[in-house]
Structure 1
Amino acid sequence: MSSTQDNKSLALQASKLQVPTSTSMPDNISLNKWEDTGFEWEGEVVPSSFERLVTVLNTEHEQSNILLNINLYRRNNVLHLAFTLTGEVWLTCQRCLQPVVIELTDDYNIALLDDESQIRLINEEQDYLLLEEIVTEQSPERLLPLKKLIEDEILLKTPMAPKHDDCEMSVEQFGEIPEEEETENPFAALASLKGNL
């Protein structure tokens, strides 16, 4: 085995030692503890565990768990929160009022900047947040609101007025619709006058 392979296997073993073993997704990540060493978490999350998302979920359809793979790491002196969402949620169609599925599966990578001077260190297309705006200070720790950030991305992915591509609006009619009386066109009289001039 070459020395580079030895170094790789040692690095892999070291990174596995640093990964916290938690069965449920943490609400927050301690930046004091993990921003330099990195943080990884993988598991399933129940959609109803998100406080804001639960208000728009369809209660008539069973919700499946969302698979999450989270990685907090530092590259080029910039902290990144990368995560993969795999799954879907069921909302209520605003036309027919029946359940409609919304696909959430996507990859996300958000740069977490100490200040605006770090913007030059990331790609123009990359999403970023300023740590001072999102980190909650609970002495002696700086906490990154992980669950809230992931919920924000899920809510951005869900439409404000979800609807099926091919459904009719649910309309109930009460009573009979009165027939409109035909009214005489006011321009008809002008047309007859024009012919006489």
Structure 2
Amino acid sequence: MSSTPASKLSAVQEESTQAFNSATMPEHISLDKWADNGFEWAGEVAPTSFERLATQLTTEHEQSTLRIQANLYHRNNVLHLAFELVGDVWLICQRCLQPIAIDLTDDYDIALLDDDSQIRMVDESQDYLILDEITSNQTPERLLPFKKLIEDEILLKAPMAPKHDDCDMAVDQVGEIPEEENENPFAALAALKGKLPE
């Protein structure tokens, strides 16, 4: 997926875009406030700050922070959330049960559509979400769940069953493995032959 980095924004857009560089990642972005003007955020985030991701992280290896640079922008009258993520997380190998580093570095771009009618305005390969399905109805303003959307993309990028390429499955064998007997499935029928009344 490709993003539109801040360097590609026009000078006018750069002036009207609000930029934030903070250690605290915002949970939500007010679309009523920032959708038209643009919004940027850059910072470093601990993987453990994402609740769902934290349940998959190993505690046997120190987790490094993830660098994220994100922005809201318009293209062809469609709102997009684009972000670049740099870093990795340590999960548990499902074969040897030892820590394994998973690289999450990538560019992400999600089209945020007002309704189904805008689907025709984006490429078939473009990831998109319908705003009514993801914005909160609890408040008077439309809030984009910024942190949750980024966590969703991280969870999609991370493998469900991470494995080292060169490790063997940890198996504790007790005793000898019995040899399988190849029994003829018709042997039982042959034994019954002659015993059944005709």
| Alignment match, 2:59 | 59
- For residues 68 and 46 of structure 1, the distance between their equivalents in structure 2, rounded to whole angstroms, comes to 11
Letter of the 2:176 partner, please give it.
I
**SS of residue matched to 2:51:** coil
Q: Whose radius of gyration is greater, 1 or 2?
A: 1
- TM-score of the superposition, structure 1-length normalised? 0.82
- For residues 178 and 103 of structure 1, the distance between their equivalents in structure 2, rounded to whole angstroms, comes to 39
Deviations 1:141-170 (A, max 9, x none): 110001110000000011111100010110
> 4+ runs of 1 displaced by more than 3 Å?
20-23, 178-187
| Closer, same or farther: CA 41–181 of 1 in aligned 2, 3 Å | closer
Q: Which has the higher helix share?
A: 1
Letter of the 1:75 partner, please give it.
R
**SS of residue matched to 2:137:** strand
Percent same amino acid among aligned pairs?
Answer: 66
Q: Any unmatched runs of 5+ in structure 1? A: 1-7, 188-197
- For residues 125 and 82 of structure 1, the distance between their equivalents in structure 2, rounded to whole angstroms, comes to 15
| Alignment match, 2:50 | 50
* Matched residue count: 178
**SS of residue matched to 1:64:** coil
Q: Could you tell me whether the CA contact under 8 Å between 2:21 and 2:42 is conserved in 1?
A: no
| Alignment match, 1:3 | none
Superposed counterparts of 1:1-197, under 5 Å: 11=12, 14-15=15-16, 18-20=18-20, 22-174=22-174, 176-177=175-176, 179-180=178-179
- For residues 140 and 185 of structure 2, the distance between their equivalents in structure 1, rounded to whole angstroms, comes to 80
- TM-score of the superposition, structure 2-length normalised? 0.82
- For residues 31 and 150 of structure 1, the distance between their equivalents in structure 2, rounded to whole angstroms, comes to 16
Q: Any unmatched runs of 5+ in structure 2? A: 1-9, 187-198
* Deviation for aligned residue 1:120: 1.6
